[in-house]
Amino acid sequence: MIGHALPDTVAESLAELLLVIGCGEESAVFAFQRLAGRGELQHHAQGQLLRIAREEEHHEQLLRGLRASLPTPRPDPLLKGRLRRFFLTLESREIGVHFARLAALDSAVCSILGELRSPKGKIHLESGIARIFQNIHEDEANHVRTALSLGHELAGRQRFLEEWVWTRQRLGALLDMKAEAFEGVGIDPRRLHQRLRKVPRLA
């Protein structure tokens, strides 16, 4: 359990957002484990991916502890189904494409965590929660670097950017379903949308 003094409405909104973020962590563990087993990767990259899978597992544990300290969110079967489809369709037989999509996803998670940790939001003064988000944010920034460089190298620049945009559009539509919860924690969903429309500058 994580101690906090969030007002009920903020705690409820955060619990709803964790439905989305937590689902991503779970699928990331399996994605990176499977990717690490792909023969076309160098030994060095495989080691990196296994480390990422372990970090994703740790994120899942951290979020489990956080969820236990928050109210139980309303069941949302529509969102749940869409999330499952989204994460399933991130996978591709083309490994570079899969990395491009994971880079787009993890960097979007970084943007969301950045907003959650921002002094503009309603969470940042809660030190226990802020520490969890900081830990995850730092790891995710590294995951983005790895997925971005592997995706760029293996899929090529053009394809990488196409997959990035496609992933961000679909994720944006999912996040729209939780627009109210974003507002509840002090995040402006329109500003977040704008951030998520950015594409990386690739050399």
Residues in contact with Fe ion by the rule CB under 5 A: 25, 28, 56, 59, 106, 140, 143
Please give the structure tokens belonging to residue 142.
């590294």
Based on CB atoms, which residue is closest to Fe ion, 130 or 188?
Answer: 130
How far is residue 68 from each of residues 14, 71, 83, 149, 167, measured CA to CA in Å? Answer: 12, 8, 21, 36, 30
Q: Taking the complex as a whole, how short is the minimal distance between the CB of residue 174 and Fe ion, in angstroms?
A: 17
Comparison of 49 and 181: residue with beta carbon closer to Fe ion: 49
Q: How far is the CB of 140 from Fe ion (least distance, A)?
A: 5
Rounded to a whole number of angstroms, the minimum distance from the CB of residue 2 to Fe ion is 17
CB of 8 to Fe ion, least distance (A): 27
Q: What is the DSSP string of 134-171?
A: HHHHHHHHHHHHHHHHHHHHHH-HHHHHHHHHHHHHHH
Picking from 78, 101, 95, 88, the residue whose alpha carbon sits closest to that of residue 176 is 78
Instruction: CB nearer to Fe ion: give 23 or 179.
Output: 23
Closer Cβ to Fe ion, 106 or 126, answer by number: 106
- The answer to whether 197 touches 23, Cβ cutoff 8 Å, is no
